[in-house]
Amino acid sequence: MNKYVHGDVKETVTPEIPEFETDAEFINWAFQQQAEALKNLAKRIEQMEMALQRIPPPGADMIKYKIPGQEEYSNLKELLDNLFERLNNLEEKISK
């Protein structure tokens, strides 16, 4: 209970603020809480950066399609080139 998991980052929510005898104890506790929060935030940012690196850059390689009769996948440029080549062949046959 009171635990949240984001990837492999685990956080514990402290239900209440403990009693302190001095202001120094409170400040020390507060800094520890902030330090822990910053560590968790850094881990989350690192995971987000790793996830974003897996996304392909914008462009023709974002979309892959396996053209029937070919063994490898083609990117968007290759697919459109293939389609226009087929259309041109059909137009040439019709015009004969």
The verdict on 48 and 82 lying in the same domain is no
**Per-residue model confidence (pLDDT) at position 13:** 65
Predicted TM-score (pTM) of the model is 0.48
The verdict on 13 and 39 lying in the same domain is yes
The verdict on 44 and 13 lying in the same domain is yes
**Per-residue model confidence (pLDDT) at position 11:** 65
Q: Is the pLDDT of residue 68 over 90?
A: no
* The residue type at 45: I
Q: Are 33 and 67 contacting, i.e. CB atoms less than 8 angstroms apart?
A: no
**Per-residue model confidence (pLDDT) at position 9:** 63
- The domain of 86 spans 60-95
The verdict on 66 and 45 lying in the same domain is no
The verdict on 7 and 46 lying in the same domain is yes
The verdict on 33 and 71 lying in the same domain is no
How many distinct structural domains can be found in the chain? Answer: 2
Q: Is the pLDDT of residue 25 over 60?
A: yes
The stretch 26-49 carries a mean pLDDT of: 93
- With vertex at residue 8, the alpha carbon angle to CA 17 and CA 62, rounded to the nearest 5 degrees, is 130
The verdict on 7 and 47 lying in the same domain is yes
Q: Are 40 and 9 contacting, i.e. CB atoms less than 8 angstroms apart?
A: yes
Per the model's pLDDT, the better-predicted residue between 76 and 8 turns out to be 76
